[in-house]
Amino acid sequence: MSWHTNILTLFPEMFPGSLGQSLSGKALESGLWSYSAVNIRDFAEGVHKSVDDTPYGGGAGMVMRADIIEKALLSVKQPGRKIYLSPRGKPLTQKLAQELAQEQTLTLLCGRYEGVDQRILDAHEFEEISIGDYVLSGGEPAALILMDACIRLLPGVMGNEDTPLEESFSQGLLEYPHYTRPAEWTDSHGITHSAPEILKSGNHAKIAEWRHEQSEKITKERRPDLLKST
Ligand code: SAM
């Protein structure tokens, strides 16, 4: 069975979006993952098919109704792990993406407006995940990002099965720098840059050592918090 994601959204046409391209697009075509986008509005009633209402207690904006979201959720036969994309959720990390990629099925709830009625989250035990400390206008781009981070970890999606092991965050470090041909490159300011000699030496042990040192240096400079958390 392939990795499956149900997406509860007011904008089903936003899927698969960028995930229909490149590696994830090929993986979708070959059945390594699949998705169903459920339009929450299909479960609304009345002429206007309204899905939101004003917040109790007053304040700006509108809130998505729990009863309508629940109908959309109950239309999903196997919801699996239920996630609400939300700025107040726990941060999406590489570790969490690895964990979610191991699940068989996810159901992602994408909020709009001011968000969703708290009771839907409580009644159906949604966990909340954030993609960063900023506010998007909707959960759909966050769902695409979460899915992208998981899909590339699924077996068979990446050409080189070793790649995820060497990437940033996988071993608590940021990745070392990459170089490719030409060995000598003169930039538009007339300055010539050479690729590091060690990488052209063919000595794999020395190359691995150099890369590890570079990873440590970059992590120390840019994200010392990662070193503390390992
Ligand atoms: N009123 C909310 C708040 O202050 O936390 C923000 C609502 S936002 C305009 C609308 C929707 O976008 C949210 O319900 C959520 O689904 C999604 N969203 C916004 N920022 C996000 C983030 N950083 N991570 C994940 N989802 C996010």
pLDDT at 13 over 80: yes
| Of residues 109 and 171, more confidently modeled | 109
pLDDT at 148 over 90: yes
Q: Where in the chain is the domain with CATH 3.40.1280.10?
A: 3-151
pLDDT given for residue 171 in this prediction: 83
Cα–Cα separations (whole angstroms), residue 85 to 121, 135, 167, 170: 11, 11, 25, 23
Report the nearest-CA residue for atom 12 of ligand 1.
138
pLDDT at 229 over 60: yes
Report the nearest-CA residue for atom 17 of ligand 1.
139
Report the nearest-CA residue for atom 2 of ligand 1.
114
CATH no., domain 168-228: 1.10.1270.20
Q: Where in the chain is the domain with CATH 1.10.1270.20?
A: 168-228
pLDDT digits (tens, 9 = 90+) for 80-109: 999 999 999 999 999 999 999 999 999 999
Mean pLDDT of all residues belonging to the chain: 95
pLDDT given for residue 73 in this prediction: 98
Q: Write out the two tokens for 142.
A: 């966050």
Pocket mutation for ligand 1, best pick of 7, 86, 109, 133 (most atoms within 8 Å of C-beta):
86
Q: How many CB atoms lie within 10 A of CB 165?
A: 9
* Ligand 1 centre distance from Cα of residue 117 (Å): 13
Pocket of ligand 1 (CB under 6 A): 85-88, 110-112, 114-115, 130-132, 134-139, 142
Q: State the Cα–Cα distance between residues 80 and 78, nearest whole angstrom.
A: 6
Confidence of residue 1 (pLDDT cuts 50, 70, 90): confident
The residue type found at 103 is: E
Report the nearest-CA residue for atom 27 of ligand 1.
86
Mean pLDDT of all residues in 146-153: 98
Confidence of residue 162 (pLDDT cuts 50, 70, 90): low
pLDDT given for residue 165 in this prediction: 66
pLDDT given for residue 167 in this prediction: 80
pLDDT at 170 over 90: no
User: For residue 91, what is the enclosing H or E element?
Assistant: strand 81-91
CATH class of segment(s) 3-151: alpha beta
Q: Which residues contact 226 (CB under 8 A, 6 or more apart)?
A: 169, 172, 173, 174, 219
pLDDT digits (tens, 9 = 90+) for 112-131: 999 999 999 999 999 999 99
